[in-house]
Every structure is written in C-alpha cells, then in structure tokens.
Amino acid sequence: MFAGIAGRYDLLNHLLSGNIDKRWRRTVARTLETSLTEGSRVLDVACGTGDLSLVLARAGKAEVVGLDFCRPMLEIARRKAADDSRTVPFVEGDALRLPFADETFDAATIAFGLRNLAGVGEGLKELRRVLRRGGRLAVLEFSSPVVPGFRALFRFYFERVLPRVGGWVSGSRGAYEYLPDSVSRFPDQKRLAGLMRDAGFENVGYRNLTGGIAALHTGTRAG
Ligand SMILES: C[S@@+](CC[C@H](N)C(=O)[O-])C[C@H]1O[C@@H](n2cnc3c(N)ncnc32)[C@H](O)[C@@H]1O
C-alpha cells in the first residue's frame, strides 16, 4: 500500500493537512532538542519519505538514522537527503525487528507509523529495546480531537473528503480509506500513554496538536 502511494505521499500530506504536518514535525524536533546534541544517535522509525529524519538532522548535531520497510519511500528519502547538506542514512528494515543492537540510540521517533504496525505494544517494546537507559521516545500520531463540535467537523473531513481527494490524487482510494479507518482503531491519547508505560517507559506525557487531531507522546526508557 505504501509503495503504491510513495510518489504522491509528500504532496498529499501537505495538501490534505494544509501544511500543518510540517509544523507538527518541527514540534517533535523542538521537544527532543536536548537529545539532538553532538554525539547523540537518533533513530526515526517508519521514516517514510524522510521528512522527520531531515527535520531532526537539521535541528541539531545528532547523528540521525531513518528506517522504513518500504523501498520506494526510502528511495525518495535518500534523494531528499542527497540534496541536503546533512548526511542521513536510510535503512530498510522492519519496525518490529529493528536491525540494531540493544541500547544503541539516545532518542527515537515514530511519526504516523505506530498505528500501522501489527502490534502497537510490540512496536513500543522494540523501540525501548534499542534506546539506552534514560533515552527518549517521541510518538507523533493521529489522535482524538478534544473539542466536540470540531471533532464532528474533522470526522466529516477525514472520513468523507480526504479519501476522495487522496484517492483521486494518489490513484489509491484504498490507502486513503485505510487512513481514517486505522486512526479510528488506534488508542486515544490516554490509552496510548498507558501502553507506553506498559512497554517500559516512564515520565510519559502527551501534548495535543491542532485540537487533538494529532498528539505528541513522549517518554523515557525506564531502567
Ligand atoms: C504514514 S507513513 C509515515 C511516514 C513518515 N514518518 C511521516 O511522518 O510522513 C507510515 C510509514 O510506516 C512504514 N511502515 C509501516 N509498517 C512498518 C514496519 N513494520 N516497519 C517499518 N516501516 C513500516 C510505511 O512504509 C510508511 O512509510
């Protein structure tokens, strides 16, 4: 599915979100600012076309690695990195079996990726495994809008308008029907925070973005 939409993925992200997605990714980088210093290693899982990986790389001096299992997405990410002064290796691999040793990274991110994994808890545990003790995780994901009137309006847009426009521009209506469907099955803000604690993260907190359309969860690898 992701291979089928890779070529139009960035265009549709920016179009369908009115460019808000860019602001959300910058918020992730600002939140992790203290972990993006020289000598730090940061892993961006389910990096897709690499937008967050590149934002993280530009925001500090950390060594950033992007990982995804979809080669056409990675090819676009690599082309973007080649046009950038920062070097970001993009690695092909499965988020549920990360090709890295335990405790390799100082920080990890996953943006709009956790929802797509076969197991959210398994994905979180695998992210925990590759983080050093005290390492930080940031999860950016669609969530539950918190204002009732806005929630209804957003649902109409997300379930009725977005699949049509996404299907028309990408040629894959299924992918853009899958999007609202997968978001509706994904845990809301509080439940995701609970799953992060269950997976071995502490100091777990979240921040609603754009009225809760998305949320940024953060946590620290415990012990
Ligand atoms: C919605 S895109 C998000 C891409 C990017 N993080 C962003 O913010 O635009 C989801 C990505 O997750 C990747 N993905 C889904 N399941 C995966 C898995 N098990 N392992 C690695 N990548 C995965 C897909 O290939 C796709 O590129």
pTM of the model: 0.94
How confident is the model at residue 118, as a pLDDT?
Answer: 94
Identify the three-state secondary structure at position 79.
Answer: helix
How confident is the model at residue 223, as a pLDDT?
Answer: 77
Taking the centre of ligand 1 as the mean of its atom positions, its distance from the CA of residue 9, in whole angstroms, is: 11
Buried b (16+ CB within 10 A) or exposed e, 5-34: bbebbbebbeebbeeebeebbebbbebbee
Buried b (16+ CB within 10 A) or exposed e, 121-154: eebbbbbbbbbeeebbbbbbbbbbbeeeeeeeeb
**Could you list the pLDDT tens digit for every one of the 223 residues in the chain?**
988 888 888 888 888 888 899 999 999 999 999 999 999 999 999 999 999 999 999 999 999 999 999 999 999 999 999 877 778 999 999 999 999 999 999 999 999 999 999 999 999 999 999 999 999 999 999 999 998 888 889 889 988 898 898 888 888 888 888 888 888 899 999 999 999 999 999 999 999 999 999 999 999 999 7
In testing the pocket of ligand 1, which one of 25, 70, 76, 98 has its CB within 8 Å of the most ligand atoms?
Answer: 70
Taking the centre of ligand 1 as the mean of its atom positions, its distance from the CA of residue 92, in whole angstroms, is: 11
How confident is the model at residue 178, as a pLDDT?
Answer: 84
| CA dist., res. 202 & res. 209, Å (int) | 21
Residue owning tokens 């809760």 = 212
Distance of CA 50 to the CA centre of its chain: 10
Taking the centre of ligand 1 as the mean of its atom positions, its distance from the CA of residue 197, in whole angstroms, is: 23
| Nearest atom (ligand 1) to Cα of 10 | 9
For residues 201 and 128, the answer to whether their CB atoms sit within 8 Å is yes
Contacts of 85 (CB under 8 A, 6+ apart): none
Nearest CA owner, ligand 1 atom 10: 113
Taking the centre of ligand 1 as the mean of its atom positions, its distance from the CA of residue 46, in whole angstroms, is: 4
